[in-house]
């Protein structure tokens, strides 16, 4: 059953990503239909987060980033915990893009910060697919640009960069 739920989440995330790509290709100001679709996509993103956590948003959004990562890993194998964390980071990355289209820069920044923190947490825990995680971390860092990082995320990033430098030939 858990595998089926993860497959469902991944298919829905793919749809969310396609919607974001469609909005990026669009020329001109958003139409009323675009606005309605955007609101629907944000609701889908929240629904996917709730499915991934297995609890209402009101319960997990109050947790710190580290506690959210721990909740996603709880009761799961290392691989399954990483997958749930990376699913969450991907949803947050797409959600940030949706917030950009709504001109909600603070919300987009917050979603990217949290996504980076979650992705770095996995990257430092010997993930099964390190290239995917490195790519996700790189994408999020580029999207954040020069935005200052929160201290815990800065610390994770420094450890990640040190680990990455040590593993280079």
Q: What is the pLDDT of residues 22-60, one digit of tens each?
A: 877 777 777 888 788 888 899 999 999 999 999 999 999
**pLDDT reported for residue 169:** 63
Residue-range domain boundaries for the chain: 2-166
Alpha-carbon distance 100 to 110, whole Å?
11
**Contact of 76 with 125, CB cutoff 8 Å:** no
Lowest mean pLDDT among 9-13, 57-61, 137-141: 9-13
- Residue 23 has a pLDDT of 78
The two structure tokens encoding residue 132: 């995917």
Task: Calculate the alpha carbon distances from 128 to 73, 102, 122 in Å.
Answer: 14, 35, 10
**Alpha helix locations (H) across the chain?**
2-25, 32-53, 57-60, 65-73, 78-101, 105-123, 130-144, 151-166
> In terms of pTM, does the model score above 0.95?
no
- Confidence grade of residue 1 (pLDDT, cut at 50, 70, 90): very low
């Amino acid at each position: 059953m858990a595998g089926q739920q993860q497959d469902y989440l991944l298919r829905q995330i793919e749809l969310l990503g396609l919607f974001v790509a469609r909005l990026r290709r669009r020329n001109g100001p958003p139409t009323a239909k675009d606005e309605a679709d955007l609101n629907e996509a944000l609701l889908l993103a929240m629904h996917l987060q709730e499915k991934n956590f297995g609890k209402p948003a009101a319960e997990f959004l109050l947790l710190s980033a580290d506690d959210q990562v721990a909740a996603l890993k709880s009761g799961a194998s290392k691989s399954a915990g990483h997958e749930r964390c990376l699913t969450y980071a991907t949803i947050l990355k797409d959600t940030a893009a949706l917030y950009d289209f709504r001109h909600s820069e603070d919300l987009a920044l917050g979603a990217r910060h949290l996504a980076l923190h979650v992705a770095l947490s996995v990257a430092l825990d010997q993930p099964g697919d390190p290239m995917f995680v490195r790519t996700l971390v790189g994408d999020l860092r580029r999207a954040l640009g020069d935005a200052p990082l929160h201290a815990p995320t800065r610390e994770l990033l420094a450890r990640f960069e040190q680990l990455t430098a040590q593993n280079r030939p």
